[in-house]
Amino acid sequence: MSEEFPGYRGNALKFLKNAGAEIGDVIRVTKDGENWEGILIPRSEIGDENHIILKLKSGYNVGVRIDSTAQVEKVGAGVKPTFTPPPLPKQKTSLPKVAIVSTGGTIASRVDYRTGGVRPALSASDLYSVVPELADIAVVDTEILFSVFSENITSKHWIETAKTVAKHIGNGVAGVVVAHGTDTLGYSAAALSFALQDLPVPVIMVASQRSADRPSSDAATNLVGAVKAAANAPFAEVVVAMHETTSDTSIVFHRGTKVRKCHTSRRDTFKSINSSPLARMEDDTISLLIKNYRKRDSARKLKLKPTFEKKVALVKFHPDLNPEIIDCYVEKGYRGIILEGTGLGHVGNYCLSAIQRAIEKDVIVGMTSQCIWGRLNMNVYDQGRDLLAVGVVSLDDMLPETAFVKLRWVLGQTTKTEEAKRLLTKNVANELSPRTLNE
């Protein structure tokens, strides 16, 4: 692999070096009596070492195989495309102030036109220049916090994000928008819901399933919805703003503790689980779908509690789960385990003694359900009652991912087991709801 020739190695690289050609140069490959002429394009990392990619005059790319008979020559120097983003729109100072904090992900990525790869390179201000409508909604202050695809987000990033959001709120913004990848957005939304207590203004997390360089991207619609909500929504909670359906007509706001990515690729991948979304925006109007919510009140004092215990595990039960895995966590000094049990909250009885050993060592074991929808009830069957008897904490209708984040947060707030259990089962950020409606 070579830095000047991204993706090229072996035979192809040797030919290119000998020809003195650089990426972007016009080169000609001659073999079998045929000429191939075009601009030299970088090769994707998974490509083999025997092809050179040329962009033909027509704009099409083709791969040309380099064999022993091939001749490669440079015919012209490359013209490097200069990229000038459009100027930032004028700020209308009378509008509410909104901060956009970018952490990365598809919504903050754009295609590299030379390699075709999608890169997390779009700065928050790029977002703004690409979606000029934002200038009519709010005075936007942008900050690139990281450029991380969401699978690489860790609790370190949660903490940084929470602190940055708090900083902007401290500066008196009307709301904060956090751009984030979709894959682990549910976890981060839960983390911010616990870390940012007594919010005075809304924190809107936003993402997209199609990158912003595509004309059909959902990024702009989601972002516009997010900024409108940050500027004007009546609620002051952590929510996720995404497409409600496959159409570009409405955006819904899901509570950060009740939301889950439910589809690998659809625009409406996020669903509120065991809850209605908090609000919907359609035709520029936000309507609330839940009566009880924390109202916006800029006078309220934010409490920042950005501490998360690292040694907590999320274990999905499955047939033949080896109970030694639980022992292993205990030996490694883990302080909490969230089980994703079956049905109403069960695991195989062959796991019971390992769970008991863990609890005896002061490890908090919480139960959730892998059914995704519905509430636990561990009193219905013997298996459930046995688990309760050894001290497993039933987490009611809490999502497994939210329970995992919450236990980490709880253990970050207290070292006392009983206090931690109390906090774990107490509703902090709408992660628990007493009623399940027929929705």
Partner 1 sequence: MSSKYSKIGLKAGLEIHQQLDTKEKLFCSCEPKLFKEEPEFTFLRRLRPTQSELGQIDSAALFEFQKETKILYEANNDTVCLVEMDEEPPHDLNREAVEISFISSLMMKAKPVDEIHVMRKTVIDGSNTTGFQRTCVVALNGEIDIKGKKVAIQQVSLEEDAARKTGKDGQLLHYRIDRLGIPLIEVTTAPVIYSPEEAKETAFAIGRILRATRRVRRGLGTIRQDVNVSIRDGALIEIKGVQELELVSQVIENEVQRQLSLLEIRDELKKRGVKEADIIADFVDVTSIFKQTKCKVIAKAIKQNKPVLAVRLPGFAELLKKELATGMRLGAELAGMARFWGRVGGIFHTDEMPAYGVTDEELNHLGKLLKKDSLDAVVFVADTLENATDALKAVVERAKVALKGVPEETRSANPDGSTKYMRPRPGAARMYPETDVPPIQVTNEYINALGNRLPELPEQLMKRLMEEYKLNQKLAKQILNSEHLDLFESLAKKTEVSSTVIAVAFTETLKALKRDGIKIEAITDEQFREMFRLIGSGKTAKESIPEILTWLADNEDATVEDALESLGLSMLSRKELEELVDEVIKKNSEFIEQRGKGAFGQLMGIIMKKARGRVKAEVVNEILKKRLK
**Where on the chain is the footprint of partner 1 (CB under 8 A)?**
34, 44, 46-48, 51, 53, 56, 58-65, 81-86, 111, 113-118, 130, 210, 212-217, 220-221, 245-249, 264-267
Q: Which two tokens stand for residue 56?
A: 């033909």
- Residue with Cβ nearer partner 1 (60 or 301): 60
Smallest separation (angstroms) from partner 1 to the CB of 384: 38
Smallest separation (angstroms) from partner 1 to the CB of 64: 5
Q: Which two tokens stand for residue 304?
A: 């920042």
Sign of CA dihedral 210, 213, 214, 217: positive
CA distances from 330 to 360, 361, 363, 384 (A): 10, 8, 7, 22
Catalytic-labelled residue, pool 103, 106, 269, 368: 106
Catalytic-labelled residue, pool 103, 142, 161, 182: 182
Active site residue 295: no
Residue 320, phi-psi category: left (phi > 0), alpha (psi -120 to 50), beta (remainder):
left
- Residue with Cβ nearer partner 1 (86 or 333): 86
- Residue with Cβ nearer partner 1 (28 or 51): 51
Smallest separation (angstroms) from partner 1 to the CB of 51: 5
Active site residue 106: yes
Of the candidates 173, 172, 178, the one whose C-alpha atom is nearest the C-alpha of residue 124 is 178
Catalytic-labelled residue, pool 141, 142, 161, 183: 183
Question: How many alpha carbons lie under 13 Å from residue 396 in its C-beta half-sphere?
Answer: 14
- Determine the Cα–Cα distance for residues 140 and 92; give it in Å rounded to an integer: 10
Of the candidates 354, 348, 351, the one whose C-alpha atom is nearest the C-alpha of residue 327 is 354
- Residue with Cβ nearer partner 1 (37 or 160): 37
Of the candidates 421, 426, 355, 432, the one whose C-alpha atom is nearest the C-alpha of residue 389 is 355
Active site residue 261: yes
Q: Which residue has the tokens 């012209």?
A: 76
Smallest separation (angstroms) from partner 1 to the CB of 403: 30
- Residue with Cβ nearer partner 1 (56 or 380): 56
Of the candidates 323, 244, 346, the one whose C-alpha atom is nearest the C-alpha of residue 287 is 244
Q: What residues contact residue 428 under an 8 Å CB cut-off, 6+ apart?
A: 193, 194, 197, 406
Active site residue 183: yes
Smallest separation (angstroms) from partner 1 to the CB of 371: 25
User: Residues with catalytic annotation?
Assistant: 106, 182-183, 261
